A and B are shown apart, each in its own frame.
Chain A
C-alpha cells in the first residue's frame, strides 16, 4: 500500500499519530568488532527502516563509490563510520547513540566502537540497555571477544541476548554452521543470567533476516532480527519489583505544599501506600501523587513524580523511600563489582566520591577480593585495579546508605565513583551486597585528603621504618637521610624512640605490653604524618614482627618502607654509644633487647643495611637509592644547591 495515499487527510494523520504515541521504546546495544559487520548491521537497520533522508542517501551513494568496500553496492557501514574518521582526529570515541523507529517501537541503539577501551565503552552502553545484540562472524564462530561481550552484558544485568550470526552468505547459508555456533554459545558457561537468547542467521550486507525474511535459508523458521526486536518482551521486572523511590528534590512552593520529587527506581506506589524512609525508619502514608500538572492514583517504575505524605517527617535529597515491609539494606560498607575507567589505578585505602541514586558519599576501598578476567572468567588476586579491569571490591562509606543488590535493582544497586581531585568519573559499580562493619566509628571524611596534601608538597608520603638493635646506627643513619631529603626539598619528620619516650610515651615502660603500645602509638602518629603528606623517618628498635606488621597495615600500599639496620649485637655492644649495654650487662637495666628481651629480625624488609666497617653516609646512600628505585623520590630528583643525581 502506498503510504502517501494512506495519509490523505488530517484525521487519518491524527489517528495514526495517536496510535504511534502508544508505542514503546527498546534500548539495545550492539557488540562486535569492526570485522563482524557491526557498522553494516546498524546501517542496514537505519536504511531499511528508512530513517535516512534522501540527501544522506545521495551522499552515501557518492561515498560508496569513493570509499566503499563492496563494489557497486551501497556501503551501509559508511552511514555510521563517521566515528572512525573522528577517531583518527584524536577524538575519543566511546558510545554513540542512534535512533530508528518502526510502527511498533522506537529504538535507541548504543553503538560502542573501539577495541582499546572496549570494556569501559561496552559497560557504558550496556548500563541503559534492555537487550544486547552480539555479533558473530559465521566463518569464525565464537571468538574470545564473544565471551567477553557475553560476560559484560551479563554483569551489567542485560537479560536478553540476540546472537547475530552474520555473514551467513559466506558459509553458503549453512544450517550446520549456524547450529554449531548456537550450541557453542549455549556451552560458554560463565553462569550468565540471560532470560532469552535468540540466534538469528543473517547477512547484514545483503539484508537477509535483518528486516526482511531471507529466501536463501528456508531451514530457518525463527524471526528476523527486526521482528524479534519489535516483539521481544523485555518485561516489567522493574514494576514488579519492590518499591524504591530515591528522593531527588524537595518540592516546597509554599506552606501548603510539601512534596518529594523523584523517579521510581522500581515498583508501584498508590495513594494510601505506606512508605518508610530507609535510613531513619520513619513512616507515613502517601496522600497525593503529582505527575506533571495532574494528580494521579498511582505511579510505576520509571515515572518521574512528586509524592505528598500525610505526616511531616524529615526527608531530604538522597533518602530512599520504600514500603514499610520491603525495605532496602542500609549499610556503611558494601561489596560490589567494579569496572575501573581511569588511567590512574584504583588503590586500596584511597577515598573516592560514590554516587548512588541521588546520594553522594565518600567511599574508601578497603579490599580487593579478586580481579575477574573478562575473557576467561577466571578470578585472580589483585592489589590494584587498572583501566578496563573488573574486580570484586569492598568499600567503606562515610555514612550509611540505602542499597539493593544490582541483580535485584539496577537503579538502587548501581553507583559511579568520582575522583575527588579531578572530578572525573573513574569507575562504575554494581552492588553485590551490603556488608557489616565491626565498628560503626568511622573516619570523618574530609575534602582535603592525603593525596591533596601530598600534591601540594610535591612529594609521595611514606614511612621509613628503621629497626635494629640499640646502638645499631638507626638514628645516625635516619638523621643523615633526613638531611639529604631536606636538601632535595622534601618535607620530613623524624620520630626517634628515645625522644618519643620523653613525651608522648613517657608513661610506658619496657614490658612486652608497653613495647607493643609504644609501637602502636608511633605507628598511628606516623600514619597521621603520612596523611599530612610527610616523609616520616621512624627510628625505633621495634623488636617484634607483629607490631611492625601492624604499622605496615595501617599505611597504604607502598607507603611503608621497612629498613633493617643490620648490626650484630657484638658490634653494638662494642659501640655502646650511650653506655646501655654496659649497664644491662651489669644487671642495671631489665628487659634490654638482645640481652634479656628478644629481637625478631625482619624476614623480608624492603631494605637491609649493613653497617659494620662502613661509613654511616654510605648506609644513608643505600637508603636514598632504595627510595629512588621504589619511586618514592624521583630518580633524577631536583636538588637545591647541588647537582641532580
Chain B
C-alpha cells in the first residue's frame, strides 16, 4: 500500500496531466480565472505543471464590474506575483446599458455580464480551449460532465453529442470555431480542495476568512456593503458582523455566513462539524431552529 499515491497526490497528478494535455494539443488555450478557491487551486496546479516554465497560456477574468474589491486586488497581486498574462474582459454592451444586479436582477445581470461576456471573449481571442475550475461533486447534473467538454462553434453544449472518455486519453480534436472546456478539477471534492489548500499553503482571497464586515440583511441573505453603489433601502440597517464567504461572486448576489473561522484550520473545523452532525444520522426536524441556523452557516439559501 505504501507504493500507492495518496488521494491528494493522485488528484494532483491527474490534474497536471490534464492541464499539460490541453497545453500540448490545443493551438490557443486560456485559463478562466475567477479568483475563488477552486481557481486558486487550478492556477497553483498549472504553475506546477510547467515549472520551471510559466504556463504557456494566459489567464482570463470575465469581470462583471461587481466583484468584491478584495477579489480584484487579490487578482492583480496574484498575476503580478506569478508573472502571468491576464486578459480582463467585460461585456461592452452590458456596460453601455448599465446592466447591474440591483436594477436588472441576478439572472439578467449574470446572463449579460457573465455568460454572454465569456462567449464574446472566447470568440474575440479565438480560444480553442478554456480551462474551468468546475467539479463533478458540485451538483447532480455535473456528475456526468466530461473532463474535455465539447462545445460547438456557437459555444453551446450538446448533451447528446458528448464524446466517450476512457482511461486518461482525452480527445482534443476540434474543427475550426469549435472548442473544448477542460475541467482539471473534475474528480476533486470540496473537502479535497480545502485539504490541498492547507497542504500547499495556497494564498486565498481574505473574504474566505471571518472578519468584521459591514452587512445588510436583504431577502434572507447577509449582503456585504462593498461600495457606495449599494443603496440602503428603508428599514435596512448596516451592521458590522463577523462573517465569511463560502463562495465568491458578485458582491450584491453573494450571501455571507456568520462565522468566527478566521484561519484555515478553523474553516476546516466548521466544515467537519457540519458533516459530523450528519454522521449522527438523525432525521432533521424541519422546524428546528438549530437546523435552520446550521443551514444558514452552510450558506444554503
Chains A and B are bound partners: yes
In the complex, are the beta carbons of A423 and B174 less than 8 A apart?
yes
Looking at the complex, which of B84-92, B239-247, B276-284 is the stretch in contact with chain A? Answer: B276-284
Interface flag for A7 (CB, 8 Å)? yes
In the complex the two chains form, is A25's CB within 8 Å of B198's CB?
Answer: no
| Contact of B136 with A by CB under 8 A | yes
Contact between A90 and B160, CB atoms less than 8 A apart: yes
Closest Cβ of chain A to B227, distance in Å, is 32
15 of the cross-chain contacts (CB-CB < 8 Å) are A17-B195, A55-B300, A82-B141, A86-B141, A92-B162, A96-B144, A248-B24, A257-B52, A262-B20, A263-B13, A263-B17, A302-B13, A303-B9, A358-B24, A423-B175
Highest count of chain B CB atoms <10 Å: which of A24, A92, A111: A24
- Sort chain A's interface into a size bin: 35 or more
Indicate if the CB atoms of A292 and B51 lie closer than 8 Å. Answer: yes
B interface: dominant SS:
helix
Stretch at the interface among B57-65, B120-128, B266-274: B266-274
Q: Known: A92-B159, A94-B144. Contact between A123 and B277, CB under 8 A?
A: no
B21, closest chain A residue (CB): A248
**In the assembled complex, A139 has its CB within 8 A of some CB on chain B:** no
Check: A57 CB closer than 8 A to any chain B CB.
yes
Number of interface residues of B (CB under 8 A): 78
- Once the chains are docked, how many angstroms separate the CA of A251 from the CA of B197? 26
B210 interface residue per 8 A CB criterion: no
Which of B68-76, B214-222, B290-298 lines the interface with chain A? B290-298
A165 CB to closest chain B CB (Å) equals 25
Give the nearest-CB partner of B276 in chain A.
Answer: A3
B57 to chain A, nearest CB (A): 12
Which residues does chain B contribute within 8 Å of A124, judged by CB atoms?
164-166
Closest CB in chain B relative to A14 CB, distance in Å: 5
Name the one of B141, B171, B198, B275 contacting A425, with C-beta atoms under 8 angstroms.
B171
Kindly state the separation between the CA atoms of A25 and B268 in the bound complex, as whole angstroms: 20
Q: Tell whether, in the assembled complex, residue A57 and residue B284 are in contact, meaning their CB atoms are under 8 Å apart.
A: yes
Q: Are A54 and B48 in contact (CB under 8 A)?
A: no
Give the Cβ gap from A64 to chain B, nearest Cβ, in Å.
Answer: 11
Residues of A within 8 A of B276 (CB): 3-4, 7
In the bound assembly, the distance between CA atoms of A128 and B17 in angstroms comes to: 15
Nearest CB in chain A: distance from B274 CB, A: 8
Q: Are B52 and A253 in contact (CB under 8 A)?
A: yes
A418 to B7, CA, bound (A): 31
Partner of A13, one of B171, B199, B272: B272
> In the complex, which residues 1-38 of chain B have their Cβ closer than 8 Å to any Cβ of chain A?
1, 3-14, 16-17, 20-21, 23-24
Q: Which of A10, A108, A317, A414 makes the CB contact (< 8 A) with B266?
A: A10
Q: Which chain A residue lies CB-closest to B274? A: A53
The answer to whether A61 and B162 touch across the interface, beta carbons within 8 angstroms, is: no
Residue interface bits A85-127, CB-to-B below 8 A is 1, else 0: 0100011111111110100011010010000000010011001
Closest CB-CB distance, A330 to chain B, in whole Å? 20
A98: chain B residues within 8 A (beta carbon): 137, 143
In the complex, what residues of B have CB within 8 A of residue A236's CB? Answer: 1, 3-4
Chain A residues at the B interface, C-beta cutoff of 8 Å = 3-4, 7, 10, 13-14, 16-17, 20-25, 50, 52-55, 57-58, 61, 82-83, 86, 90-99, 101, 105-106, 108, 111, 120, 123-124, 127-128, 233-234, 236, 239-240, 248-249, 251-253, 257, 261-263, 290, 292-293, 300, 302-304, 306, 317, 341, 353, 355-358, 410-411, 414-416, 418, 423-425, 428
Residues of A within 8 A of B11 (CB): 25
Does any Cβ of A come within 8 Å of B67's Cβ?
A: no
Binds A, one of B104-112, B184-192, B229-237: B184-192
> What are the residues of chain B within 8 A of A7 when measuring CB–CB?
269, 272-273, 276
Contact check, A290 vs B51: say whether CB atoms are below 8 A apart: yes
How far is the CB of A303 from the nearest CB of chain B, in Å?
5
Select which of B20, B198, B266 is within 8 A of A249 by beta carbon: B20
From A23, A304, A317, B24 is in contact (CB under 8 Å) with A317
Q: Evaluate contact between B160 and A92: CB separation under 8 angstroms.
A: yes
- CB atoms of A416 and B5 under 8 A apart: no
Q: Contact partner of B263 among A10, A53, A253, A303, CB < 8 A?
A: A10
A410 and B166 alpha carbons, distance in the complex (Å) = 11
Task: Closest B residue to A419 by CB, please name it.
Answer: B173
Further contacts, 19 of them, CB under 8 A, given A83-B144, A99-B187, A423-B171? A4-B277, A24-B5, A24-B7, A50-B278, A83-B143, A86-B141, A93-B144, A99-B189, A111-B143, A123-B166, A128-B166, A262-B20, A263-B17, A300-B3, A317-B24, A423-B173, A423-B174, A425-B165, A428-B164
| Alpha-carbon separation in the docked complex, A357 to B8 (Å) | 23
A424 vs B175: C-alpha distance when bound (angstroms): 11
Instruction: Return chain A residues, CB-CB under 8 Å to B136.
Output: 97, 99
* Residues of B with C-beta under 8 A to A16: 272
Complex Cα–Cα for A101 and B24 (A): 33
Please report the C-alpha to C-alpha distance between residue A258 and residue B137 in the assembled complex, in whole angstroms: 38
Give complex CA distance A512, B265 in Å.
Answer: 90
In contact, B168 and A411 (Cβ under 8 angstroms): yes
Query: Which A residues are CB-close (under 8 A) to B281?
Result: 50
- Nearest 6 Cβ contacts at the A-B interface: A236-B3, A423-B173, A304-B16, A253-B53, A127-B166, A3-B276
A21 touches B199 (CB 8 A): yes
Residues of B within 8 A of A93 (CB): 144
Q: Closest CB of chain A to B146's CB: distance in Å?
A: 9
Contacts of B81 in A (CB 8 A): none
Q: How far is the CB of B173 from chain A (nearest CB, A)?
A: 4
Q: What CA separation (Å) do A293 and B137 show in the bound complex?
A: 28
| B169 beta carbon closer than 8 Å to chain A | yes
- Residues on A with C-beta less than 8 A from B21 are 248, 358
Within 8 A of A (CB), among B130-148: 136-137, 140-141, 143-144
- Taking a contact as CB atoms under 8 Å apart, the answer to whether A414 and B195 are in contact is no
Contact A416 B166 (CB under 8 A): yes
CB neighbours (8 Å) of A24 from chain B are 1, 4-7, 10
Q: Which of A22, A127, A239, A341 contacts B6 (CB 8 A)?
A: A22
The complex places the Cα of A355 from the Cα of B165 at a distance, in Å, of: 12
Residues of A within 8 Å of B10, CB to CB, are 24-25, 302
Is there an interface contact between A292 and B144, defined as CB atoms closer than 8 Å? no
The answer to whether B7 touches A25, judged by C-beta atoms less than 8 angstroms apart, is yes
Asked whether A53 lies within 8 Å of B298 as measured between CB atoms, the reply is yes
Q: A106-B7, A355-B171, A410-B167 are in contact. Are A261 and B1 (CB under 8 A)?
A: no
Are B265 and A253 in contact, CB atoms less than 8 angstroms apart? no
Q: Is the CB of A50 within 8 A of B173?
A: no
Q: Are B273 and A61 in contact, with the CB atoms below 8 A?
A: no
User: What is the minimal beta-carbon distance from B266 to any residue of chain A, in angstroms?
Assistant: 6
Q: Is the CB of A106 within 8 A of B284?
A: no
Q: Which single residue of chain A is at the shortest CB-CB distance from B44? A: A292
Contact assessment for B163 and A425 in the assembled complex, using a CB-CB cutoff below 8 Å: yes
Chain B contacts for A341, CB-based, 8 A? 164
The complex places the Cα of A98 from the Cα of B10 at a distance, in Å, of 17
| Among candidates A52, A120, A290, residue contacting B52 with C-beta atoms closer than 8 Å | A290
Residues of B with C-beta under 8 A to A50 = 275, 278-279, 281
Residues of A within 8 A of B1 (CB): 24, 233, 236
User: Which residues from B are CB-within-8-Å of A23?
Assistant: 6-7
- With CB as the reference atom, state the residue of chain B lying closest to A427: B164
Q: In whole Å, how far is B61's beta carbon from the nearest beta carbon of chain A?
A: 24
Q: How many angstroms from the CA of A410 to the CA of B168 in the assembled complex?
A: 10
Expressed in whole angstroms, the minimum distance between the Cβ of B281 and any Cβ of chain A is 7
Asked whether B4 lies within 8 Å of A416 as measured between CB atoms, the reply is no
Give B187's nearest chain A residue, CB to CB: A108
Residues from chain A with Cβ under 8 Å of B51 in the complex:
290, 292-293, 306
Distance in Å: Cβ of A593 to nearest Cβ of chain B: 52
Q: Which residues of A contact B273 (CB under 8 A)?
A: 3-4, 7
Q: For residue A413, which residue of chain B has the nearest CB?
A: B167
